[in-house]
Amino acid sequence: MTRRRFWVYILLFLFNVIAYVDRVNISVAGKSIAGELHLSPVALGYLFSSFFWAYVVMMLPGGKLIDRWGSHVVAAVATAVWSAAQMLTGAAGNFAVMLLTRLGLGVGEAPFAPVTYRSVRAWGPYTERGTAIAFISAGASLGPALGAPVVAWLIQALSWRWSFVCTGAVGFIWVVVWSSLVSTPEKTRWIPEPERQRILAERDAGIEPPSHGGVGYLGLLRAPAMWGLFVSQGCLVYSLYLYLTWLPNYLQNARGLSLVESGVFTSIPFFVATVLNVVVNWIGDKMLSTEAIHAGKRRYLLGLCLVLTAAGLFVPFVGSLTAVTVLVSIAVTFSNVGPAANAALVSDLLRSPADAGRAFAFLVLGGNSFGLCAPIVTGYIVAATGSFSAAFIVAGILALIGAASAFIFGRGAIGEVAAPSGAVPRAG
């Protein structure tokens, strides 16, 4: 049996890499931007967070567009939008203009994670679902791992402005390749027929999809599991965005590292996360039987990830840079592993493929509703206390709350209730 579908996974992996290089750019450039534009820590925190405001607002509409147009179409359009906004950031002359370009980046990247999860739902047999999502999502950690030192070098060799232009241009190359090669499994011609039939037969985990056209957002929100995983995702992403946005600044200001050194040390936790994300979720796939998948037992892996993400609690209490790197690596790794496991769990519990884009959009909305607060809260904490200690403690406590939510609520079908008899189901 051929595995040509893996080329789709590889392109989605690169999609994730590009998205996160574009996100981490401003984190590495933050000190340079603050110096040139005369920004306080609070103003810088708002600038870091502004991307997520548009990202969150456009999340649910993006999920609906994915279900209507297909993830392959939305991926190309969204990447073109965010790449243009990334390049324009390099031309910003003041705080207000840069804020607008960051909002544009958020609009473009809003469908990013639902596209990833929806594509795996369409292309991946359920036996490789967790591994496929983890491999693709590993690009989200490899992006900062590669991007942090590369952007630091671009800033030092050219300027912080040219770093945005260079990283934004890469996205347009990806759009051309993706649009040329990928459609749906049913229509992509270079997939051999036996492989196509396996994809179509196995992607719903042996559960016959309901005859109705999906229950829409209102139907999905009736499921306690959807809310439990929403909270768990939020607690994971809060930690992830704390490290993604503020770690270089923390290393430069609290630990005395240079710009390039902070880029290198920021990359280490994300490199570790890139490898372990795939390994841990692969183990999860191998350990779960069909019955365990239907019962939502992937929630135990999700809960474990949240407990380990809480390791960041101890960062303020260690003195050596090595110990900081180890603790941050654990927290960053499992705040990356957790969302992949969570997305696979939603797919395990979801009954109608017609609701997939909306379900994943709502899950990601949970992550980013919490996550957008992390840069702002951290900025206020640093301004008020002159220290990052309380910021790490808040993130760790939230991770433990998320673990409780995963263990308690991460079970039961999502979207199982059909539309009322005689009615035509409406898309939420």
CB atoms within 10 A of CB 227: 16
pTM greater than 0.85: no
Are the beta carbons of 197 and 339 closer than 8 angstroms? no
Rg (alpha carbons) of the chain, rounded to whole number = 21
Q: What are phi and psi of 192, to 5 degrees?
A: -60, 150
- What does the pLDDT read at residue 68? 81
- State residue 176's pLDDT score: 96
Largest CA distance in the chain: 67
CATH number, span 6-181+217-409 = 1.20.1250.20
In this predicted structure, what is the pLDDT of residue 210?
58
Residue 403 pLDDT: 94
Buried b / exposed e across 73-97, counting CB within 10 Å, b at 16+?
bbbbebbbbbbbbbbbbbebeebee
Structure tokens at 353: 């493929």
**pLDDT for position 397:** 95
Which stretches of the chain drop beneath a pLDDT of 70?
A: 1, 204-215, 417-428
